[in-house]
Amino acid sequence: MSENEIKTYWREPAERDGDAVVNVQSSASAPPPFSRRQFLEAAGFTVSIAAIGGCGRAKPEVALPLVQQPEGLVPGRTQRYASTCGGCAAGCGLLVGVRDGRPLKMEGMPSHPLSNGGLCAIGQALPLGLYDSHRLSSPLQNGKASDWETVDKAVKEKLNQLPNDAAVFFVTSTVTSPTLQAAIDSFLEPFDNGRHVTFDAVSSSSILEAHQQTHGRRVLPRYRFDRAKVIVSFGADFLGTWISPVEFTAGWRSGRVPSAGHPEMSYHVQFEGRMSLTGSNADRRHRLAPNEYAGVLSLLAQDIAHRANQNPPSGTPPTTSISTDDLHNVAGRLWDARGKCLIVCDSQDVTVQMLVNYLNEVLGNYGETLDVENPSRQRQGNDADLANVIDALKAGKVSALFVAGTDLTHNLPAHETLVKSIREVPLVVSFAERVDDFASLAHFVCPDHHSLECWTDSEPVSGLISLSQPTLHPLGKTRSVLESLNRWSGGNETAYDLVKSYWRERILPRAKTQQPFQQFWDRAVHDGFAEVETEAIVPTEFQADDVTYPSTPTAEDGFTLSLYSKAGLTDSRHAHNPWLQELPDPITKVTWDNYVCVSETTANELGLANADLVRVTAASGESIELPSFVQPGQHDQVIAIALGYGVRGTDRFAQIGPQWLEARPTVVQGELVGKNAARFLDFRDGALQLTQSNVKLEKITGRTQLASTQRHHTLEVPRNVAPHGAEVRDIVQETTLPAFAEHPEAGKPEVHHHGDKQLWAEDHHKTGHHWGMAVDLNCCTGCSACLIACQSENNVPVVGRDEVRRQREMHWIRVDRYYSGDDDDINVAHQPMMCHHCDNAPCETVCPVLATIHGEEGLNQQAYNRCVGTRYCANNCPYKVRRFNWFTYEHDDDLQNLALNPDVTVRTRGVMEKCSMCVQRIEDGKLEAQRMGKPVEDGTIQTACQQSCPAQAIIFGDMNDPNSRIHQALENPRRYGVLEEFNFRPSVSYLRVVRNRDDETEEHGSGESEHHA
Amino acid sequence: MAQAKVNIMHDATTTLRPPLVMGDKSISDVTRDICAPMDRKPTGLWWGAFVISLSALILGVVAVWYQIATGIGTWGLNKTVGWAFDITNFVFWVGIGHAGTLISAVLFLFRQKWRTAVNRSAEAMTLFAVMCAGIFPLIHMGRPWLAFWMVPYPNTRGPLWVNFKSPLLWDVFAISTYLLISAVFWYVGLLPDLATIRDRSEPGWRKRITAILCLGWNGSARTWHRYETVYMLLAGLATPLVFSVHTIVSMDFATAVIPGWHTTIFPPYFVAGAIFSGLAMVLTLMIVARKVMNLEDYITLTHIDRMCKLMLSMGCIVGLAYGTEFFMAFYSGNGYEQFVFKNRALGPFSWAYWTMVTCNVVIPQVLWFRKVRASLPTVFVVVIFVNIGMWFERFVIIVTSLHRDFLPSSWADYAPTLVEIATFIGSFGLFFTCFLIFCRIAPVIAIAEIKGAAHLRRPRAAALPDERDRAA
């Protein structure tokens, strides 16, 4: 067939034969309007133009692999760096878990001599503070964003203009960093009247003052609770907020583990007016108004002096309401444990603190349970200095004011006059990380790095110096205070250089062994701390002569107001952290608010119910309107308000949590989270007093609803519905030390033992691992660090005030708190409650879609993507530990989302969730063991709650491993299971509370017969 | 003949049971009377009721839409009380759905001819009530769009299957079976009447539709024979469902470990309660319908009297169950169990408990008196109380058991939100909208059956009680 030949096709014979011929190769005279070729040309053109158009320059994204892979860095695996917690001045050791360049999970540094691997809620919450989009990202000049060059130039200019005798005040919270201290000193050097003033929002200055008087040195002793057999505390909340709670909890805990072979425990008495976390853990708690501490201490001093054949303090002891029998008992115990006891007091009255020193001295505790030769530096606030600053400010004599680490105006009384006088200072510089109350007055705000972003060091107690290292590149254009001061002094060094050179010059010489600097430094960076020689302190003789009995407080008709800081929030520093705002107070279980704690008697007298609004008016005329909270165990004459609330900028939380038809804002329009009670701080006797007498309390109209996570507070069921013989539930079992010594299983309720007969054949044999947990209730203080640890590890959302009020908080672990006894001798039990991973789990059988199933290793697993949300499992959970995603909780803050743990799914609306026993950590540990070719070692897998527990109350491990700690815990005679009699076979056990009390009456739990009245 | 048996208790004037249809009707009268509402245009009353019902339905639809779009958080539930209005409403509606089958199937098998006057509407009521009930388990899910996961269907998810241990799954089977059987039973029963409508209708759309729907009914003896066989078989199939559905619903609670739920008495207790509430709802509707639709001659006081007696007996069983629960709690020696029941009676929700006892046990006792049973307004008031009481019974079981369970730390409160209340109102809207439409498009009384059961055009003597009724 030749090429020219036209091939003809026909559709039908007629066509073939007729005229109509279909030409395949177009040879028609009039071509179709759009030929195939033209179409292809046009289409090709269009496509290529579109393609070229799409090839415009995108924003270049650099995703280069590291040229030199850092040693041991595996993408997706957590790197842990030793550091120091910057949450407060306590200086706990930190192990920062960094994943792909972002710090995610804070853990306690296990080898740290102070914190022993514990970390409090604040430390756990650091990542959320780091990834806070409200932190300043550049310096401010007169309230406007600026850059460092401009600010440095302007500050230096202003500084140069100052005359040499200008009064320059540098106010900081306690500075434990020797490098920073040196930098401040050298910065102030050119100014003859330059003063560094330390101001602690919750001050302990009178302790230092008292030691000045009795020991000749202004020091804060290092308290060694681990060595104390008898602990007497006057208001000092050393397990909650006082000075160094993690360190003290670890120490206190060491005396709280009685065993069958060694049934001994420390004895802890607490005298206090308000109900503190520490008081809740005491063996015996006496209600005592703060102004009566002096009386009790005086009588104790008299008693002990008599026993010791020493001269009692001069003067006449004031009277007290505590019975002499009780006092005699305490004195006897102290005397028996002389050299091994400890008396602490949070009073800001120097004479009272001197009396405490006298007692500790006569009892021979100095050098044993109190260390003044290696003193603590965790609280250095000097209220007398502060008073000078305020006077100078009021007199208009201050030329420059620098404030770092504290919000000066927020944390001080007489706000208006203070603000007015600060406005007149020519140079005001703040180093705050956000525009706080003081920073809003400052000419320059030079935001400091977050503690996870910078190099610094800390010497919380003499001889222990720890390092902080940055764990990520600073998120904003912030700058370390060290660097700022260095710039203004004319230097140009980085914080790293500054710290390192300081260490080379000043710390290395104190090293215990001689070694090259680099080796010393590397070791310190690796460990996070270095133990060095203390700076030589010559102990002075105890000056007993100056100790006098304080005068009897004058009779007063009003209330005594006691200001305190809430565990997990302390002062205003962490008020912008929603995890901590939603952390239930360990005692009141209230979130997102401060309130006036009143005793039940007071409430009855004033006709107050919980959350009724009250007005508190001080003698000075200052007043505050807050909701009331009826607190069991509170002294009738004492009312208490938490500091650290009403912080500027916390109205940002107005919209936190789900927004829907009936949702109420977390913060009412125009208000803040809580109210600032610092107005009631009182400069008296040279110290900033946290208590104030002659305070009026009145009920005003209106009430709010406090967002509390717990509504019923005893294990006793309401009397009108209590069944005979089951008035008290044995959820928390407890016994006394004498009973325990006699019979280690004392406190076990007498119930019918149904045996281990199972109706059905075991369908999960758990021949490999069988994970289990035990919580030693005798160690657990209820501090709630585990809550935040879990929240951080497991991406638990924050739900806001209204949702908590509706009882829909999402915490996977909660700490139940129950009261028993009466106000005068109250017992409190704290019980962490999380998923019990029951072997006969009631939740598993009822799920229609098998979204919650039993794992081969005993874990009760929740498959989020299978869950349809019937909530049947939660209804059927006897421990009520399941949490439902009622809404889509906020995850739209990109910066904040950096704090999310990539190992744990972020749950969507409509699914159930609960404690997984940190299954991601278990799998990680198993993989690691597999990689090393070893069996999983006991202790290598730690749940988040267990890891951070300052009291080491949580034990986790493989119950099938006979050598594991959990296995031993299960054989502990104190072991019991909650609701065990129902045969849920929980994998979580508790170790019974043992109270060091003489009285044989067993408290609730086993004491069924006592409650029949 | 069954009716011809001597009933000494009934009436001194006659040894025969009173006729089931009054007013000396002929067969064509019956057809005309019952079809009358369909023939005429809707009355103002109907329109009024319809607008109210539809508004309620729309309110419910909006509430459900909002809740699905926003989250279950728009309900007043919390970490402790995971079910409240949702499952209360579910059980309430399922319970109401029981009387239909009871009247249709069980009474049919027992040859209770008086059922013919009420069975059609009772069946329709069942259907609509089960529809209302079915909505709640659907919307109470956190992710209702995944509801199909509750059905065991072949899927690509490997071994992932439903959990046959879960009573919620049994619910799915029980409710869907019940809905299916009820619908079929209702439809089959409707066949001869559809044919009647077809025959009565002028040529037009109604005739054409009914011609299709009546499946070619021709009224022959063979058709009748087959129809009655099928009806009998369906009645036999439906009868166990009367007992199984609520038994299974009760197992949602009985198989749980929560004190107050974990009770073996629940299956019979729930069945009795369901029949009780179902009868109350049938009576509520009948008392209104007979008046509004001029059906006094068909739904007579005799019917109401018998239903009242049945209701009274069920009420007594329910009351006995309440007492038994308390006894069992006392006798168990289990403190948690004892607490729950004390807490029910004296705790924060005691008002709900005593509302329940008053409405379900105390008030129905007046039905012992014939005079009360003969007074329609009084019966109406009583049945309304029973309706309320039975709703509270479920509320009490669900909420009071949950709100204070084992650990006092988790004890919580519950209060419904506007969304929940709107959803509840919406379910009534759906029910009444459906019922009102049903009244317009289908005969509310089974024409064919009542013709068979009633002795039409009987001698005057039999009509005597009729006069007495009218006097009352």
Residue type, B165: K
Residues B416-467: pLDDT tens digits? 999 999 999 999 999 999 988 988 888 878 777 777 766 655 444 444 444 4
CB A569 within 8 A of CB A581: yes
Percentage of chain B modeled with pLDDT above 90: 36
Specify the range with the lowest mean pLDDT, choosing from A37-41, A116-120, A138-142: A37-41
Q: Which of B142, B169, B256 sits opposite A910 (nearest CB)?
A: B142
Confidence of residue A18 (pLDDT cuts 50, 70, 90): low
Beta A78-84 vs A22-23: how paired, if at all? unpaired
Percentage of chain A modeled with pLDDT above 70: 92
Determine the pLDDT at residue A967.
92
Residues B188-210: pLDDT tens digits? 888 888 888 888 888 888 888 88
pLDDT greater than 50 at residue B234: yes
pLDDT greater than 60 at residue A1005: no
Confidence of residue A624 (pLDDT cuts 50, 70, 90): very high
Task: State the DSSP code for B399.
Answer: I
CA dist B443 and A578 (Å) reads: 63
Chain B interface test: which of A589, A846, A914 (most B C-beta within 10 Å): A846
Averaged pLDDT, A775-792:
93
Determine the pLDDT at residue A815.
93
Q: Which two tokens stand for residue A568?
A: 């997990």
Confidence of residue A754 (pLDDT cuts 50, 70, 90): low
B413–chain A Cβ distance below 8 A for any pair: yes
Task: State the DSSP code for B102.
Answer: I
| CB contact set of A2 (below 8 Å; sequence gap of 6+) | none
Determine the pLDDT at residue B36.
75
* CB-based burial label for A76 (10 Å; 0-12, 13-18, 19+): exposed
Determine the pLDDT at residue A403.
92
Residue of chain A with shortest Cα separation from B81: A875
pLDDT greater than 70 at residue A57: no
Q: How far is A876 from chain B (nearest CA, A)?
A: 6
> Inter-chain contact B335–A723, Cβ cutoff 8 Å?
yes
> Inter-chain contact B82–A818, Cβ cutoff 8 Å?
no
CA dist A914 and A921 (Å) reads: 15
- b (16+ CB within 10 A) / e for A252-282: bbbbbbbeeeeeebbbbbbbbbbbbbbbbbb
Contacts of A842 in chain B (CB under 8 A): 256-257
Which of A35-44, A68-77, A609-618 has the highest average model confidence (pLDDT)?
A609-618
Specify the range with the lowest mean pLDDT, choosing from A115-124, A394-403, A885-894: A885-894
How many A/B residue pairs have CB atoms within 8 Å? 202
CA dist A151 and A141 (Å) reads: 7
**CA dihedral of residues A780, A786, A788, A791 (deg, nearest 10):** -150
Residues A796-827: pLDDT tens digits? 999 999 999 999 999 999 999 999 888 888 88
**ipTM, interface predicted TM-score of the complex:** 0.88
Determine the pLDDT at residue B9.
41
Averaged pLDDT, A174-193:
89
> Inter-chain contact B346–A720, Cβ cutoff 8 Å?
yes
State the SS3 of A77-110.
CEEEEEEECCCCCCCCEEEEEEECCEEEEEEECC
Specify the range with the lowest mean pLDDT, choosing from A83-92, A386-395, A718-727, A843-852: A718-727
Which of the pair, A622 or B446, is modelled with greater confidence?
A: A622
Determine the pLDDT at residue A884.
94
Residues A425-464: pLDDT tens digits? 888 999 999 998 899 889 999 999 998 888 999 999 988 8
Confidence of residue A713 (pLDDT cuts 50, 70, 90): confident
Determine the pLDDT at residue B430.
94
The CA R_g of chain A, rounded to the nearest whole Å, is: 33
pLDDT greater than 60 at residue A650: yes
Which of the pair, B462 or A275, is modelled with greater confidence?
A: A275
Determine the pLDDT at residue B352.
93
Which residues 191-230 in chain A show a CB within 8 A of chain B?
none
Which residues 210-229 in chain B show a CB within 8 A of chain A?
none
Determine the pLDDT at residue A28.
46
Determine the pLDDT at residue A756.
65
Averaged pLDDT, A123-140:
90
> Inter-chain contact B73–A886, Cβ cutoff 8 Å?
yes
CB B262 within 8 A of CB B254: yes
Which of the pair, B293 or B142, is modelled with greater confidence?
A: B142
What is the value of pTM for the model shown? 0.87
> Inter-chain contact A871–B169, Cβ cutoff 8 Å?
no
* CB-based burial label for B77 (10 Å; 0-12, 13-18, 19+): buried
Average pLDDT, chain A: 86
pLDDT greater than 50 at residue A25: no
Q: Which two tokens stand for residue A519?
A: 């080796």
Contacts of A731 in chain B (CB under 8 A): 406-408
> Inter-chain contact B339–A721, Cβ cutoff 8 Å?
yes
Q: Which of B166, B343, B413 sits opposite A847 (nearest CB)?
A: B166
Specify the range with the lowest mean pLDDT, choosing from A756-765, B13-22, B43-52: B13-22
Taking CA atoms, A101 is separated from A70, A665, A826, A930, B245, in Å, by: 12, 35, 49, 26, 58
Confidence of residue A58 (pLDDT cuts 50, 70, 90): low
CB A390 within 8 A of CB A418: yes
> Inter-chain contact A867–B142, Cβ cutoff 8 Å?
yes
Confidence of residue A27 (pLDDT cuts 50, 70, 90): very low
> Inter-chain contact A871–B140, Cβ cutoff 8 Å?
yes
Determine the pLDDT at residue A1002.
42
pLDDT greater than 70 at residue A4: no
Residues B97-150: pLDDT tens digits? 887 777 778 777 877 777 777 788 888 888 899 899 989 999 999 999 999 888
Q: Which of A731, A866, A982 sits opposite B160 (nearest CB)?
A: A866
Averaged pLDDT, B353-357:
93
A910–chain B Cβ distance below 8 A for any pair: yes
Averaged pLDDT, A391-405:
88
Determine the pLDDT at residue B472.
36
Which residues 815-854 in chain A show a CB within 8 A of chain B?
816-818, 831, 833, 842, 845-850
Ordered DSSP codes for A763-782: S----S--EEEEEETTT---
Specify the range with the lowest mean pLDDT, choosing from A316-320, A823-827, A879-883, B382-386: A316-320
Average pLDDT, chain B: 84
